[in-house]
């Protein structure tokens, strides 16, 4: 990872280490631009770790006639799966049908479009299910006799973000987590950007500025760059609950609610079921967002309309909540606001043209982050010759994803051959998280003992050190909730011990030696 001389000017500076900022940094670095990215906290510390984790077209968006978005998103499913077959996998969704909500012909039409709009080659097609016979009918209440089953993909959202940051860094970008952009102003042909890291301030120069601050996009415009923008962001909260697993098969459900919304119930981390999401306007500070008791009760009630065994708030083992930074299209209901993205380019002020450009990202989905980055490059190309180079990210694997979509068992076998002493379950978990980089994680280790201290579940010192060395992890939360979901398995005491270990491992060697 490089750090440039202080007096040099970057081609591009990105504010925000969510999926969109990291995707843009990766794309630009791969086109040969010099890039710096600032993230005030950890990667995916905000919305990009709080999603439903679906790479999906969004069946529901067809009802709002968002055909452009649905088509682009559907096309991305197999593109992203091929780029990251370790952290992305296909998932089948079961939609139980019942009279009173959307009619069967409408669902069939929606699913026909879903099957045919978006370049599906490997994902299996839609089919009709007899829920009285199919195993997916068993956990459901009596009365659900017919259903539809269709394909989308599942993604480990926060790992997708860090892998984009990692790939950008390996292509020469300066990636700076825990570094907040405090102010940015135009100075001649470039931007002067003041950043703060560990209480110290520094000024950096760049020709182009990208504001990918997610729910802070408007705050960055108003308080950091201090410009008036006509575009506005609509903050919409979405919460999820996690309960012990409600059923044994590997398919997900999509349930239609009486209020016209839908929720998903998805197999999660082997032993759990993930249920979400809610949709309501949000007014507070983005970092303070938290699932409310009312939302938890809503999700439990909505799931209990379908599952035989009622889901209750007492069963909830974890919740998470995020804020969608949607483009404000004036829709009356939060659930109807467009999920499409808008890229706003500002390169003139009054009659002054050709100013150093500012590109702000509004809205978007995890699913469309790669296309959003390509569109951002197209918009910025007139300002930076290097960005006019052709797109390259389609087909370029993310770190560890350099194997075929059906080849995960082969990578697990390769890891076991190199390290016959590791358990099958750990080998599988490491490959699902790190892909072929699992070999790098275990490189040089010769026995179980070499994995070092065990922090809880199967998290060992070797993995924690890898995450600190290669993926910028600094705290237990980074490891337990964003680089993995082992937070579901470690006790509070174990997490605190991990935190203490990581703090100690980062202390300067000289200070440690002096004590
Ligand atoms: C409940 C919910 C469910 C969703 N489900 C799905 C789904 O299943 N599939 C899908 O495709 N999409 C889904 N989405 C949408 C998707 O999660 C978001 O569109 C996407 O994560 C937005 O990414 P982002 O990079 O724009 O924002 P963020 O991930 O929020 O990143 C912005 C970053 O900017 C940083 N930042 C802000 N200000 C500064 C500053 N001054 N200096 C430095 N850094 C700064 C923040 O710390 C933050 O990390 C869902 C969203 C929600 C809320």
Distance (Å, whole) CA 477 – CA 498: 9
Residue of 214, 261, 284, 339 to test ligand 1 pocket, by largest number of atoms within 8 Å of CB:
214
Buried residues in 187-197 as b, exposed as e (16+ CB within 10 A): eeebbebebbe
Half-sphere exposure of 46 (CA within 13 A, CB side): 26
Nearest 5 degrees, angle CA 314-CA 317-CA 323? 105
Q: Whose CA is nearest to atom 16 of ligand 1?
A: 365
CATH number, domain 408-505: 1.10.8.870
How many angstroms does the Cα of residue 367 sit away from the middle of ligand 1? 12
Distance (Å, whole) CA 448 – CA 440: 16
How many angstroms does the Cα of residue 161 sit away from the middle of ligand 1? 10
Q: Of ligand 1's atoms, which has the minimum distance to the CA of residue 276?
A: 1
Distance (Å, whole) CA 491 – CA 353: 57
Does residue 301 contact residue 315 with C-beta atoms inside 8 Å? no
How many angstroms does the Cα of residue 5 sit away from the middle of ligand 1? 31
Structure tokens at 470: 């290669």
Q: Whose CA is nearest to atom 18 of ligand 1?
A: 365
Q: Whose CA is nearest to atom 37 of ligand 1?
A: 213
Burial of 7 (0-12, 13-18, 19+ CB in 10 A): exposed
Q: Where are the domains of the chain?
A: 10-46+159-232+339-383, 89-155+234-327, 408-505
Dihedral sign, Cα of residue 273, residue 277, residue 278, residue 280? positive
Q: Specify the 3-state DSSP secondary structure of 92.
A: strand
**Cβ atoms < 10 Å from Cβ of 139:** 17
pLDDT given at position 1: 43
Give DSSP secondary structure letters for 155-182. E-HHHHHHHHHHHHHHTT-EEETT-EEE
CATH number, domain 10-46+159-232+339-383: 3.50.50.60
Does residue 11 contact residue 199 with C-beta atoms inside 8 Å? no
pTM: 0.96
How many angstroms does the Cα of residue 404 sit away from the middle of ligand 1? 28
H or E element at residue 402? none
Half-sphere exposure of 12 (CA within 13 A, CB side): 34
Residues 6 or more apart whose CB falls under 8 angstroms from that of 417 comprise none
In sequence order, what are the beta bridge partners of 236? 281, 324
DSSP-based helix, strand, coil % in the chain, nearest 5: 35, 25, 35
How many angstroms does the Cα of residue 21 sit away from the middle of ligand 1? 9
Q: Whose CA is nearest to atom 3 of ligand 1?
A: 51
Give DSSP secondary structure letters for 54-74. EE---GGGGGGT-HHHHHHHH
Half-sphere exposure of 28 (CA within 13 A, CB side): 35
Alpha-carbon radius of gyration of the chain: 23
Q: Whose CA is nearest to atom 27 of ligand 1?
A: 214
Half-sphere exposure of 347 (CA within 13 A, CB side): 19
Dihedral sign, Cα of residue 24, residue 52, residue 80, residue 113? negative
Q: Of ligand 1's atoms, which has the minimum distance to the CA of residue 19?
A: 25
**Block mean pLDDT (10 aa), the chain, length 515:** 64 98 98 98 98 91 82 95 98 91 84 88 95 97 94 98 98 98 96 97 98 96 90 92 98 93 96 96 95 98 97 98 90 76 88 90 95 97 93 98 98 98 97 98 97 98 98 98 98 98 87 48
Q: Of ligand 1's atoms, which has the minimum distance to the CA of residue 38?
A: 43
How many angstroms does the Cα of residue 484 sit away from the middle of ligand 1? 18
pLDDT given at position 145: 93
What's the Cα-to-Cα distance from 213 to each of 15, 217, 334, rounded to whole Å?
A: 6, 5, 20
Q: Whose CA is nearest to atom 15 of ligand 1?
A: 365
Q: What is the DSSP letter of 225?
A: S
Distance (Å, whole) CA 439 – CA 66: 42
Q: Of ligand 1's atoms, which has the minimum distance to the CA of residue 42?
A: 49
Does residue 147 contact residue 141 with C-beta atoms inside 8 Å? no
Residue of 298, 324, 338, 373 to test ligand 1 pocket, by largest number of atoms within 8 Å of CB:
324
* Residues whose beta carbon lies within 6 Å of some atom of ligand 1: 15-21, 38-41, 45-48, 50-54, 180-181, 212-216, 220, 224, 238, 277, 322-325, 361, 364-367
pLDDT given at position 5: 53
Distance (Å, whole) CA 36 – CA 49: 22
CATH architecture of 89-155+234-327: 2-Layer Sandwich (3.30)
pLDDT given at position 509: 66
Q: What is the DSSP letter of 1?
A: -
């Amino acid at each position: 990872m490089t750090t440039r001389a202080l007096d040099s000017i970057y081609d591009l500076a990105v504010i925000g280490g969510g999926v969109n900022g990291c995707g843009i940094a990766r794309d630009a670095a791969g086109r040969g631009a010099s890039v710096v990215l600032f993230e005030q906290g950890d990667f995916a510390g905000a919305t990009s770790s709080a999603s439903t984790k679906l790479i999906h077209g969004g069946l529901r968006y067809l009802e709002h006639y968002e055909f452009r978005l649905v088509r682009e998103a559907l096309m991305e499913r197999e593109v992203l799966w091929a780029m990251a077959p370790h952290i992305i996998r296909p998932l089948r969704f079961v939609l139980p049908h019942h009279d009173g909500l959307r009619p069967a012909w409408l669902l069939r039409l929606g699913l026909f479009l879903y099957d045919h709009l978006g370049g599906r080659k490997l994902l299996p097609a839609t089919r009709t299910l007899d829920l009285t016979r199919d195993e997916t009918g068993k956990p459901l209440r009596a009365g659900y006799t017919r259903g539809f089953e269709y394909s989308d993909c599942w993604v480990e959202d926060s790992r997708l973000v860090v892998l984009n940051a990692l790939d950008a860094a390996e292509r020469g970008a300066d990636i700076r987590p825990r570094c907040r952009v405090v102010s940015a102003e135009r100075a001649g042909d470039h931007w002067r950007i003041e950043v703060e890291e560990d209480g110290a301030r520094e000024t950096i120069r760049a020709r182009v500025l990208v504001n990918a601050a997610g729910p802070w996009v408007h705050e960055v415009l108003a308080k950091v760059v201090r410009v008036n923008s006509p575009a506005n962001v609509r903050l919409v909260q979405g919460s999820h609950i996690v309960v012990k697993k409600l059923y044994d098969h590997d398919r997900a459900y999509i349930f239609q609610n009486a209020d016209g919304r839908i929720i998903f119930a998805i197999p999660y981390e082997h032993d759990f079921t993930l249920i979400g999401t809610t949709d309501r306007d949000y007014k507070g500070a983005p970092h303070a967002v938290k699932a409310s008791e009312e939302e938890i009760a809503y999700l439990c009630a909505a799931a209990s309309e379908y599952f035989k065994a009622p889901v209750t708030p007492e069963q909830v083992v974890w919740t998470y909540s995020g804020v969608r930074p949607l483009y404000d299209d004036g829709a009356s209901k939060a659930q109807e606001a467009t999920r499409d993205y808008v890229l706003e380019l500002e390169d003139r002020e009054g009659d002054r043209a050709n100013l150093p450009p500012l590109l702000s990202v509004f809205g978007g989905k995890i699913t469309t982050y790669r296309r959003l980055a390509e569109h951002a490059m197209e918009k910025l190309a007139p300002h930076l010759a290097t960005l006019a180079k052709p797109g390259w990210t389609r087909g370029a694997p993310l770190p560890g994803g350099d194997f075929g979509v059906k080849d995960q068992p082969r990578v697990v076998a390769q890891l076991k051959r190199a390290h016959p002493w590791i358990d099958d379950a750990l080998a599988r978990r490491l490959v699902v998280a790190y892909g072929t980089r699992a070999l790098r994680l275990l490189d040089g280790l010769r026995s179980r003992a070499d994995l070092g201290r065990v922090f809880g579940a199967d998290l060992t010192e070797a993995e924690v050190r890898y995450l600190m060395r290669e993926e910028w992890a600094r705290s237990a939360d980074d490891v337990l909730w964003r680089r993995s979901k082992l937070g579901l398995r470690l006790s509070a005491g174990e997490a605190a011990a991990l935190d203490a270990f990581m703090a100690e491992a980062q202390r300067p060697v000289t200070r440690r030696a002096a004590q």
